[in-house]
Chain A
Amino acid sequence: MITETISFASVNVGDKLPGKEVPITSALIVGGALASRDFTSVHHDKKVAQANGLPDVFMNILTSNGLMGSYVTNWTGPDATVKKIALKLGAPNLPGFVMTLVGEIKAKDDSTGIVDIEVIGENNVWGMHMAGTVQVQLPQ
């Protein structure tokens, strides 16, 4: 369990978060869809996904959003507060791919203690899956 929280003073613009590899499996795609209560067929039914032009089931945007959130809060620790998550989706995540997450601090607001972290998730087959920004308030 992660118990330390990163302090606002200890981070600087340009700092990079440790990269993380996320193996994309059917279990993650279907599990993420159900955890986010998204029963749209393309996220659990391969035949429907194929009818929509993709080789297999693909990750829903709520799971991508959740992975972006967990990537950042696992780094910040428990006493940080997420203020905003904004992401743009690119290529789909399919079973068998590996997504690599990287993050970099792009801005730091001394008055509010909020830092902007750019997060990019790229898969090894089709490239950019998601790119976005997580704003998180860190303790002083």
Chain B
Amino acid sequence: MTPEETKAFEEKIHAFVGRENGPPKRGNDDVNEAMIRHWAEVMGDELGTYTDAEYAAGTGKGGLIAPPAMLQAWSMEGYPMAENPAQDIQRQLHNVFDAHGFTGVLGTNTSTEFFRDLKPGDQVTAHCIIDTISEQKATGRGIGYFIETLTTYTDQNGEEVGKQVFRVLKFIPADSNDAADSSTEDDSPSVPTRITSPRGHDNSWWWKACDEGKILIQRCTSCQTLRHPPRPMCGECQSIEWDSIESTLDGEVYSFTTLHYPKIPGYQYPNTVGVIQLSEGTRLVANIVDIDYETIKIGMKVKGSVEQVDEKTMLPVFRPE
């Protein structure tokens, strides 16, 4: 968008600020035991005050209550959202965003205050207004705007039972910025896997053996010196002739560290990595697994094996002997 177009767009969206989303919306169902039980099962709520009327009567609550986090659920639109959502003011606002390329939507924050516990029979009505729209932001998801709605929930007596600020990001999905390259064939991306090594002339033989479950150590055929990581020439005698031996993966911890942050997709944290002194004399950097990292000591004997660590990757891993 040109600066003028952006200005016109922002005027359009800011006209929504302060407007009511629609008439107050009373929940289709009053607070009831069945929906509470359904919720409690999924969320793992273990309190009898949610699901056991007899028990609940004897607690300080004096009877069943709904899990507080359910508050928003009582007045949700339900199944029509999937097929034919109501064209309320918020939807109209989103349509303006969509028409300008801000098609992505993501709930980013919710903050709810609860003024009293809800009990079966209570009737929840939501009063929602478009409260604020942020300046344009560059987010990790893409360029976008945060929209905050403020919802006040009242009961059958018109008294406030809770208040919620809900913030969504409407953004231009990063992919649509390079639309020319959007025809990817793989329509089922999978869970991220580890970042693997690029393979070239000097290292692909090593990684290929690793794929097959073997850890090799390069050996100069002229002076027999072992070397790792592999290099095309021997630093001792300058020979370019070499073969390799297979490591037994017996070794000890020469040094190690445990990574906590940042968390890179495809890896599990905490992630312990060691420099392993192999019995053959060379060193190898690899994960140390199945041990509390606080108990690892330099000099500890370890034994390695080559294992499949994710859907795509074979790697050496070491365990204490």
**A–B touching in complex (CB under 8 Å):** yes
Binding site for B on A (CB under 8 A): 1-3, 5, 22, 28, 31-32, 34-41, 44, 47, 50, 52-53, 55, 60-63, 65-70, 73-74, 77-79, 81-89, 94, 96-97, 122, 124-128, 139
Contact check, B191 vs A78: say whether CB atoms are below 8 A apart: no
Please judge, given known A-B contacts A3-B48, A78-B48, whether A124 and B111 are in contact too, CB under 8 Å: no
Please judge, given known A-B contacts A39-B82, A50-B187, A85-B112, whether A70 and B45 are in contact too, CB under 8 Å: yes
Measured in the bound complex, the distance between the Cα atoms of B42 and A22 in whole Å is 11
Given contacts A35-B38, A85-B111, 6 further A-B contacts (CB under 8 A): A40-B82, A61-B110, A65-B112, A78-B48, A86-B112, A125-B192
Q: From residue 161 to 190 of chain B, which have CB atoms closer than 8 A to chain A? A: 173-175, 187-190
Q: Among the listed stretches B1-9, B67-75, B240-248, which one makes contact with chain A, having 4 or more residues with CB under 8 Å of it?
A: B67-75
Contact check, A41 vs B110: say whether CB atoms are below 8 A apart: no
Contact check, B45 vs A82: say whether CB atoms are below 8 A apart: no
Contact check, B76 vs A83: say whether CB atoms are below 8 A apart: no
Contact check, A68 vs B48: say whether CB atoms are below 8 A apart: no
Measured in the bound complex, the distance between the Cα atoms of B262 and A122 in whole Å is 12
Contact check, B73 vs A36: say whether CB atoms are below 8 A apart: yes
Name the B residues within 8 Å of A36 (CB-CB).
39, 70, 72-73, 76
Name the A residues within 8 Å of B48 (CB-CB).
1-3, 78
Measured in the bound complex, the distance between the Cα atoms of B241 and A85 in whole Å is 67
Measured in the bound complex, the distance between the Cα atoms of B82 and A79 in whole Å is 38
Contact check, A74 vs B78: say whether CB atoms are below 8 A apart: no
Measured in the bound complex, the distance between the Cα atoms of B59 and A65 in whole Å is 25
Looking at the assembled complex, report how far the CB atom of A33 sits from the nearest CB atom of chain B, in whole angstroms.
9
Contact check, B107 vs A60: say whether CB atoms are below 8 A apart: yes
Binding site for A on B (CB under 8 A): 35, 38-49, 52, 55-56, 59-61, 67-70, 72-73, 76-82, 104, 106-114, 117, 173-175, 187-192, 262-263, 265-266, 268-269
Please judge, given known A-B contacts A1-B46, A32-B42, A36-B70, whether A88 and B108 are in contact too, CB under 8 Å: yes
Contact check, B47 vs A74: say whether CB atoms are below 8 A apart: yes
Name the B residues within 8 Å of A139 (CB-CB).
60
Measured in the bound complex, the distance between the Cα atoms of B263 and A83 in whole Å is 33
Looking at the assembled complex, report how far the CB atom of B148 sits from the nearest CB atom of chain A, in whole angstroms.
13
Name the A residues within 8 Å of B70 (CB-CB).
36, 66
Contact check, B79 vs A2: say whether CB atoms are below 8 A apart: no
Name the B residues within 8 Å of A41 (CB-CB).
82
Contact check, B60 vs A37: say whether CB atoms are below 8 A apart: no
Looking at the assembled complex, report how far the CB atom of A66 sits from the nearest CB atom of chain B, in whole angstroms.
4
Contact check, A52 vs B113: say whether CB atoms are below 8 A apart: no
Main secondary structure of the interface of B (DSSP, over half): mixed
Q: Contact partner of A69 among B59, B67, B269, CB < 8 A?
A: B67
Measured in the bound complex, the distance between the Cα atoms of B28 and A10 in whole Å is 42
Measured in the bound complex, the distance between the Cα atoms of B174 and A73 in whole Å is 38
Contact check, A38 vs B81: say whether CB atoms are below 8 A apart: yes
Name the B residues within 8 Å of A3 (CB-CB).
48, 55
Measured in the bound complex, the distance between the Cα atoms of B21 and A133 in whole Å is 28
Measured in the bound complex, the distance between the Cα atoms of B191 and A85 in whole Å is 30
Contact check, B111 vs A86: say whether CB atoms are below 8 A apart: yes
Please judge, given known A-B contacts A78-B47, A139-B60, whether A83 and B113 are in contact too, CB under 8 Å: yes
Contact check, A37 vs B173: say whether CB atoms are below 8 A apart: no
Contact check, B108 vs A62: say whether CB atoms are below 8 A apart: no
Contact check, B67 vs A66: say whether CB atoms are below 8 A apart: yes
Name the A residues within 8 Å of B189 (CB-CB).
50, 55
B142 to A, closest residue via Cβ: A53
Name the A residues within 8 Å of B266 (CB-CB).
125
Sample (26) of A-B pairs whose CB atoms are under 8 Å apart: A1-B46, A1-B52, A35-B42, A36-B39, A36-B72, A36-B73, A38-B81, A39-B77, A55-B188, A55-B189, A61-B107, A63-B42, A66-B70, A69-B67, A70-B43, A70-B67, A83-B113, A83-B114, A85-B114, A86-B111, A87-B111, A89-B108, A124-B269, A125-B192, A127-B263, A128-B263
